[in-house]
Structure formats: structure tokens, C-alpha cells
Structure 1
Amino acid sequence: MTRHRITSFGDTTLPEEQQRSLRRAIRVQIVGLIYLLSCVVVVALVMGSSQAMKVAWIEDLLSLIPPIAFLVAARFARREHSREHPYGFHRAVGSGHLAAAVALFAMGVFLVIDSASGLVRAEHPPIGTLQLFGHTVWAGWPMIAAMVYTGIGPVVLGRMKMPLAETLHDKVLYADADMNKADWMTALGAVLGILGIGIGWWWADGVAALAISASVLHDGITQIRNATRGLMDGRARRFDDSAPHPVIARVEQLVGRADWVEDVGVRIRDQGHLFHTEVFVVPRERVARLEQLERMREEIVALDWKLHDVVVAPVAVVPENLRAPQRE
């Protein structure tokens, strides 16, 4: 990997903090993938006929999709723009986000139907015994141990990824971290289902599986909504999609303070890690000098590393939907 590719997104050189965060995020994702693969193997070895364990195993498989999507998207986003791709490859992040979201949604629908049908049919999943180091033990104990192993790691990984997602403004990484942080609920639900079977509550396993499935479906719906908004050129939002990005107001305030600007409108769309930025200004004297426009563009670029492909255009009238201030 060349130095250029690890220190930039396309032709935008990253600040030192973002460079460190990108390298760290890649390392964390690779380590996380190795760990998640081990979880898939461990759960497959002990899941038996438990519906909750089956659903937990499938969710572990699904957990592989976001980190893979992040690594692929990060690699594409570092490519420079070309004549064929004049805007660069930053949309790879949004594409990866949508692919992971659709996979989550589809599997969530399947798991909810599968879990609910098991409850309707009143299936009684048996948990027998097995020989472990020369001793006969209830098979539920290895299942619970496996759930503890698969439940602790994602919480730690999620807490490591969340600040990196904010620093890099990476929504695929955020979606992955959010799923990781919630994985302890999957493990806890599976443990409760196993213990329920152990004390004779046949329905506990199915209820736990349905709860886990509903969580997967909810994650899928949420992430599809967020990914689609970005790909449809919605207004740039924070890395967690909780609110419009504050850099929009900062650009409006910066341009509005210029003594030669009468009115301003700002249009910023999220291309992945970077923001395509268009600024429409109405000059007071109805004439804007090239030096003024270029100086304004440089000041805007200096506001935030994410502001990319900044265009400052003089216009006679700012479109009504772009008039500052923009509010929810």
C-alpha cells in the first residue's frame, strides 16, 4: 500500500488525526473480522437445535458484512478521480452502507418469520448432554459459554470503532459500531432462551429468537433509511445521521460575514467521507471579482477537511430552498 493511498481520500489529503484514525480503523476491522470468524465457528459447534442459538449464529455471519464493506469502500475511496469518475470514488462508502443495510433487512425479515413460525408450531427444542473432558455435562453450559465469548468482544470493538467513525465521518463504520454495541443483547437473549429450555419453558427459546430477529430487522430498516437518504443527495448530516451537519451553518456564517455578499445559499451533499460543496452568493454590487470568489473558496476549504470540490458561484437570486439559515 502506498503512502498516498493511506493518507488521503482521492485527491484530498487527510489531516494527521484522520490519517491515524484511518490506519487504526483498518487494523481494528481486520482484527474484528478474525474474531467474528472465530465466533461463527464456536457457535456453530455448540448451537444444537436451539432456535435462539441458530439466530445468534446467523447474526454473527451478518456481522461480517459491515467490516468487509468498510474495508472495500475505504480502498475505493482512496482512488483519485478520473475523466470517467470526475467526482472520485467517495460514493463507495454510501454503496457499501446500502449493501450492508439491505443484507441486514432481508435476513431480519427471514429470521422474524422463521422464529415466529417456530412459536406458532409450539416446537420443543431439546438440549441434551455431551461428554466434555470425560464428564457428562448439560449441553446448555457450552452454549452459554459460547454466548459469553461472542457477547463481550463486540461491545469492546463497538466502543473502539465509534470515535473513529466520528473522526473519519464514516457511516459504514458507524453502522458497524452500532451493531457491535448492541450484540450483547443478542448474546443475553440467547442465554435466557437456553436457560428457559433448561427449566422447562419450551417457549423461551422461540421468544428469545424472535427478539433477536426483531433487533436485526430494526437495524436493517434504520440503516436502509440512512443509506438511501445519502445516496439520494439529501442534506449532509452528522456521521450518525442524528441531525444536519453543523458545517452547513458554519459555511453560511462565514460567507454571510463578507462585506461584499448580500445573500447566500449553501448546498452540501455527503459523498462518503467528503462533502461536495456549492455556495451561491448574491454580490452587493451585482458584480463579483474573481479574486473575491477565489479567496472565499479558500476560506471555506480551510473550515473543515471534509469540504471538498468547493464551488462559489455568483448569482442574481438565491433559490428559496437554499436561503440561510437552514433549519430542521
Structure 2
Amino acid sequence: MSGQTATIRKGIWIEGISVLWMALEAGVAIASGLLARSLALVAFGADSVIELAAGLILLWRLSIEAKGAHQARVERAEKTASWGVGTALLLLAVYIVIASLHKLWTHEGAEASPLGVALAIASGVLMPFLSRAKIRIGREIGSQALRADGACSIVCAYMAWTVLAGVALTALFGWWWADAVAALALVYFVAKEGWEAIEEARGKPDACGCGGCHD
């Protein structure tokens, strides 16, 4: 096995861990968010679903590259996926804004969610490690997509700590508005990811999916 192939297989292994975590994160965040009426947690889970789909496509791409297949059809699939992911993220950002403003208008607060707090802490700790591994391997094999996904993992960590702040403030102090404000804070991250994914699909040379992945 060549060094390049071995490194690609490491990328597949790291991406596989990321996909499994995103699946768990999405299920737990959405379920606990619905039970606790936490918009921030539900939005975090919805973003995880979208990142899960993108991760599966990247995992497929790396698997084909490991087998030595031609990259043209993979690149076409990546471009189509970027359009879909970008559009979904922008629609999610619009939903978060509308739902957050509605919660602030009606003074609807979220209930305490110990499971949501635990999930946010775990994600905030794990994702930076996965991010560094993806970016390093992406540089070694010349994969812009893997480096961009590594940047997305850092964004996921930022989102986790933002969610944690909202959930913790609600649980500790009963601040009914904290969840809606935390959800609004996620709009920046979600919209930024969505716009950069669309820019990448349009073939912009400086677009890298989630930003922050340049040398």
C-alpha cells in the first residue's frame, strides 16, 4: 500500500467517526430539543443532519479515491451536493430567525435539558480534535473538500458552545429568552456555511465550504 493510499484510508477512518458522531448528535439534539422545547437544540440537530449528509458524500468520495477511480464524476456529485447543502442551510437560517422571533414575542422559554447540556459539552470537546485531523490529512492528500469539512467541524464546536450557553442559562437561571437568543446566534454560523457551500458549487476559487481552511 502506497503512502498516499494509507493517508486516504486514515481520512476515511476519521470521516467515518465524524459521520457516526453526527448521526448520534442529530438524533439526541433533536429529540432532547423537542422534549425541552429548545429551539437552539433543535436547530443544532437540524444542522447536524445536513452535515451528516455532506459527510456521507465526502466519505463516498474518499472511498472512490482510495480505489483509484476517476475523480470527474465525484467532483460533479460534490458540486450537486454543495448546492443542496447550501440551500438547506440558508433555509434553516431563515427558519431559526422566524422561530426565534416568535418565541421572543410570545415569551416562550425552554425547559432544562441535562441531556442537551451533556451533548453540547461532548461535541464542543470532540469536534476540534476531528477538525485538526481532517485538515492535516486533507493537506497531505491534497483534498480541499476534506480540509473544508475540517473547518466545518470547528464551526460545529462553536455552535455546540453557543447552544450550551443558552441551555445552561435557561437551566440555571430560568432565563426564558436565553434559548431564543442562542438560536439567533447560530444563524451566523449556519448562514455562513450555507453561503460558502453555494459559492463552492458555483466554482468560486476561494470558497472552501466552511471557511478557515486556507494555508
TM-score, length of structure 2 as denominator length: 0.80
* Matched residue count: 208
* Cα contact 1:79–1:88 (8 A) shared by 2: no
Identity in percent: 21
Q: CA deviation at 1:75?
A: 4.6
- The AA in structure 2 aligned to 1:200 is G
* Cα contact 1:59–1:216 (8 A) shared by 2: yes
**What residue is the counterpart of 1:205 in the other structure?**
179
Tell me which of 106, 110, 114 is aligned to 1:122: 106
Q: 1:177 to 1:116 in 2, by over 3 A?
A: farther
**What residue is the counterpart of 1:194 in the other structure?**
167
- The AA in structure 1 aligned to 2:54 is P
- 1:202 match: secondary structure: coil
**Separation in structure 2 between the aligned mates of residue 210 and residue 118 of structure 1, nearest angstrom:** 11
**Separation in structure 2 between the aligned mates of residue 30 and residue 74 of structure 1, nearest angstrom:** 11
Tell me which of 153, 159, 172 is aligned to 1:180: 153
- Greater share of strand: 1
Greater C-alpha Rg: 1
RMSD: 3.0
- Greater share of helix: 2
**Separation in structure 2 between the aligned mates of residue 182 and residue 60 of structure 1, nearest angstrom:** 11
TM-score, length of structure 1 as denominator length: 0.55
Q: CA deviation at 1:29?
A: 1.2
- 2:86 match: secondary structure: helix
Are positions 1:151 and 2:134 aligned together? no
Q: List gaps (5 residues or longer) in structure 1.
A: 1-6, 8-15, 82-86, 128-138, 247-328
* Cα contact 1:97–1:172 (8 A) shared by 2: no
My pick for the range that moved more, 25-34 or 42-51, is: 42-51
Tell me which of 68, 79, 84 is aligned to 2:69: 79
- The AA in structure 1 aligned to 2:139 is E
Q: 1:167 to 1:97 in 2, by over 3 A?
A: farther
**Separation in structure 2 between the aligned mates of residue 30 and residue 157 of structure 1, nearest angstrom:** 11
* Cα contact 1:76–1:92 (8 A) shared by 2: no
Q: CA deviation at 1:68?
A: 0.9
**Separation in structure 2 between the aligned mates of residue 167 and residue 65 of structure 1, nearest angstrom:** 24
| Higher RCO (CA-CA < 8 Å; seq separation 6+) | 2
